[in-house]
Amino acid sequence: MEMEVSMSALQISTPQKPKKNCQRKKMEYLPWFEVFVNLYYFSLYFYIETIAFDEQARLIDEIIDKNEKSVLRTKKTNRERMKKESHINNKKKKDEISNYLCLCAFQKKETLFVDILQKYHQQIIWNRNFIFVFWFFFLGKKKYLLSHLVRAYHHDVKWIRYVLEAEVIRQDEYKEVFEDALSTAIECENLRARNVLLQYLTSGSIKNKQEKDMREYGQTQMQERNKCEVMLEYMKAQTTSMELSITMNSLFKTMTKVIKDGKPISVDMLNLCWLHDPQNTMWSEVWFQKCKDILQSVHLYKNIHDYKWMDEYFIFNPSLLLWPEQQQQKQMESKSNTENENKNERKEWGGLDDIKDICEMQIEKINQELEKQMDLEKTKFAKEYQQLQSFEWNAENKEYIQFWKQDEDEFGLHSYIPKSELYYMAMDSEDVTFHPKHIYDVDVYLNRLLIRAHHMNEFFQLEMKNIFKDCLGCTFEQGDIPTCLKCKNKVSTRFPHGHVSDYLTSACLVDILRCRVVFVDITHLLQGLKYWMEVIQSKHNRNIFQIVRLKNGFANDSNHKHKCKHRRTSNSIKVNLLVTKDNESIVTEVQFVLQFAKDLQQLQLPFLRILQRTSFLDNYLRPNIMQQFSFDFQLQVVSWHPPLIADLMLFFPNQFRSVLFSQSSSSSSSLLNASDERANFVMQMAKNSQLSFGFVKNMLQTGHLIPLDVVQQQLMQTDSTGTYPLMSALVKQSDIQSIKLFVPSDPDHARIVWHAITDDQLSTIAFGVRNTKVPLSSILQLLKENIRDQNRWEYFIRMQETRAGFTPLMDTVCDQSQLFEDDVRMLLPQDFQQNVSFWEVKDTGVTFVPCSVFFFFFFFGHIYDGATLLHILCEKSFPNVLSRLKVLQAFMPQDCWQRLLLTTDQVCCVCPYAHFYVYMHTLVCFLPEKLDGRKYHATIDPKVSRYFILENDHQCLFYFVRLFASYCQLCLSLCSYGQDEHNIEGLNMLHLSLSNSKYNEFDNLLCLRSKMPETIWNELLDEPDRSLVTVCVCFF
């Protein structure tokens, strides 16, 4: 019995048009070799699926978070866990974990994806190319894991967002990975993933303050330069050369006097002077000399006025163009003159290098004074100094508590939101700029920590002051609580990238509450430190104070001597102290320092700050950093978002003229769809449906941003497929007025574009009927007004494209949700009532998808091969099926309609060991449930079904309702397992009706029953389905 069922299932029906005697063609059998191969691969498929699910179950059990377990595991479960853990950790191929991550994302298993990433992120090789293995299928190209998540799951960016939000991969370490993921997103036209990656690349790590400052500094520099260039350009246009020279000379004299007097400076005027004449003597004789005079004083921190003037108008002003451009010019000159340059010669005006030399010289003087004072102390108090060097803090739990943060103690400040919940917030958010973990860390938790610090500050300072009030040779200094902004800067500077195990980096701030004890010499420091330790560790204070860590800056001081060029005067001892009061605790800092070291440290601070700023400028001028602030990159970041691109239009008008619209920039990677190198800027605008009419008009017809001649030139350029911007606008733009903006102004050029045909045999009519945002009647009216040649119009509406083989009418039926008689009439030839070939056109395009299985290579054909007009109409799940059928039947000859009801489409599946052609009948295109499981069609009702019933021929009717859905899905079922797709081999109409889980099966059955003869109905009830899946189950 099982063998009989198997044999019947392998029958493949090959329906033909009914002959006069209306007898069906006999079923043909596959060769025995092909039958054996098919059954073998089905058995192998089920076996591998079982193994895959077992492996997935083991992995799910393995990565369950221990913190979420409320019940202890049994011994048996623990043994199983250890066995599975060793199974995972002993894998030879590191990219298997990456495959698991891709598989979890593919199947939308968020919890499993998160657990695997959190537990095995250190084993992932982020910069290794691999092929995503879907069970035993090798799909796609070799890509990095981040690129796979972009390419395969472009409809959902939550997986990429989680990877970036969890900071398991750093941009500075895997720059090529991020660039490849970005290029993949651009190639796939994945706008959402592209925005996520660009936002992360432009901001760097969210916690890195230096990268954030560089981005803000670069944007300010770009705006200031463009503003001054526009001003200088207008001055040259509105004045003569003599008038301009007199004006600028007067401005230079004025600025010279202002700089000498140390008065407030207009940075805009100073930038204007720099752009006009960078070689003017004012920069070397006045500007540099003023800075040099200020820096000559070692006690700069006491000269409040001069230091504030430098702080405001010199190094620290982001709007000042002088330093970055001067350094950039110097770097270019040094590269060109490296061979002939004498290293001992220095120019009179060296810019930042001269400023840096002065600061280093002053710091060296201070360091020499520090070493001199320290040597005197060592000689005078040699015994005490040796004791101070060897001073240590010993405790039983030292190794445990020395790494404590603010959230480690029982009464410390803990988070009330789990880390995983914040990660899920980021995954589910549509806003790419929303980073919940960072917001909770530096905004919520940090402010709570500051509130606790202010609450406990008075108690802490008073207790410390009382300890040292009777000590001789020391001075107690209370430290100020830093502001929230300073704390944020400190977090981002000290912990720019954090650590995966560090949930809250703000909890690492253990010096918010601080105090300092200044001693006159080493002896008093040693005595005061010992006395303080005894008081803290006494029984009375044991429940209030607890030492967390001690850092001895005097230990091995001789080994660190002259190690650093700019040694900071930090010869001190710092102790972190846990203070508890009223069931609230906070980690504080107590510093023990010598008086001379403290004074010298204050002298160094201004010069160290200037050196830090010069280092910042050097890092900013690196090529990879400067590239992020180019106009091309900024245009790429805004992604055609109207408010953001409006900023570029306002602040960078010259870049629109001189950079983007030149012939060399037509292939710039900054354009939105960089996958087509021949797509110019106007083409990118035409392809973008988010742009408003006002924006497009301002860009193309005013001439303020894009020269009008450049606009007309690019309107006549095609992309790699021979498509003009007007053609793209016909299908993408959301109103008729915007479409008209892409029509060339020259009538001859406009006629060429309207009558053009692409490489894929697509006309302007074919593009226009695909637009679903503009009423079809308006599109057709615009096309008719510009294509006045009736012969040309007839040729366009008859022409089939090369890829899918659709005519404009087929495109209309496929894309438009509403069909009206007037619109359809315009897409019909004049002889539509006699032209049978026009109505019976079939789709001739087949899309082949390659897939490897056990070193065999498959090609899978895709759906639309051989589809007719009725196939396409029923393929779409529009609710108004009845009205669409009425419109088509009103124009189509009745004999054509009857023939199309019996016309089958055809999908070809070719493999190296089996060749078979599979027929999908007319019945299949009208299934209540489509193959992909997501496109559902209208419920069959009598009004609709009557359009699919053959008239006056009971034998043909008998043949029609007996057709089986013989779509053999051997390869497709294997490749698409896990998706809501079904094998429909051998299903008759009753099977198909019952398989619909979305609509009422009873209504469908009633409709079918009313249209079928009773003999056929009874016969269909007795027939089993003939799917290969059922056959294999019976066979095994």
Q: Which residue has the higher pLDDT, 899 or 139?
A: 899
Residue 757 has what DSSP assignment? B
Name the pLDDT band for 518 (thresholds 50, 70, 90): very high
Please answer whether residues 866 and 858 qualify as being in contact, where contact means their C-beta atoms are separated by less than 8 angstroms. Answer: no
DSSP code, position 482: P
DSSP type of residue 25: P
Average pLDDT, whole number, for the chain?
71
Q: Is residue 728 pLDDT above 60, yes or no?
A: yes
Give the list of residues 6+ apart from residue 836 with CB closer than 8 angstroms, or none.
893, 895, 896
Tell me how crowded residue 395 is: count the other CB atoms within 10 A of its CB: 14
Between helix 484-494 and helix 209-238 the angle, nearest 10°, is: 110
CA dihedral in degrees (779, 783, 784, 788; nearest 10)? Answer: 180
Rounded CA-CA distance 324/221 in Å is 9
C-alpha 1/C-alpha 465 separation (Å) is: 97
Stretch 395-424: mean pLDDT? 80
Q: What's at 716, amino acid-wise? A: M
Residue 799 has pLDDT above 80, yes or no: yes
Residues 6+ apart with CB under 8 A from 226: 651, 652, 653, 654, 655
Q: Which of 448, 440, 402 is nearest to 422 (CA)?
A: 440
3-class secondary structure per residue, 876-913: CCCCCHHHHHHHHHHHCCHHHHHHHHCCCEEEEEEECC
DSSP class of residue 800? P
For residue range 572-598, what is the model confidence (pLDDT) as tens digits?
899 999 999 999 999 999 999 998 888
Q: How far apart are the first and last CA of the chain?
A: 13
Structure tokens at 602: 């204050």
3-state SS string for 519-541: ECCHHHHHHHHHHHHHHHCCCCC
Residue length, the chain?
1036
Closest to 776 (Cα-Cα) out of 827, 726, 727: 827
811, amino acid identity: D
Contacts of 427-436 spanning 24+ positions with Cβ under 8 A? 427/110, 427/158, 427/159, 427/161, 427/162, 427/165, 428/158, 429/161, 432/161, 432/192, 432/195, 432/196, 432/199, 433/199, 435/165, 435/206, 436/165
Give which of 843, 844, 810 is closest to 824, Cα–Cα.
Answer: 810
Confidence category of residue 141, pLDDT binned at 50, 70, 90: low
Amino acid at 396: E
The model's confidence at residue 57, banded by pLDDT at 50, 70 and 90, is: very low
- pLDDT of 34: 45
Q: Is 969's pLDDT higher than 50?
A: no
Contact 700, 706 (CB under 8 A): yes
Q: Please give the single-letter amino acid code of residue 84.
A: K
Query: pLDDT tens across 985-1016, in order?
Result: 455 666 666 655 444 445 666 766 776 777 77
Closest CA to 756 of 745, 770, 766: 766
- The arithmetic mean of pLDDT across residues 724-730, rounded, is 93
For the chain, give the longest Cα–Cα distance: 125
Asked if 384 and 522 touch (Cβ cutoff 8 Å), the reply is yes
Kindly report the number of other CB atoms within 10 A of residue 1030's CB atom. 17
What tokens appear for 891 in the block? 């124009």
What does each C-alpha distance from 551 to 530, 568, 589, 729 come to in angstroms?
Answer: 15, 16, 11, 68
pTM reported for the whole predicted model: 0.63
The C-alpha atoms of residue 802 and residue 761 are separated, in whole angstroms, by: 6
* CB distance 865 to 907 below 8 Å: yes
Mean pLDDT for 906-925 is 30
CB 666 within 8 A of CB 683: no
Average pLDDT over residues 806-822: 89
Model confidence at 852: pLDDT above 80? no
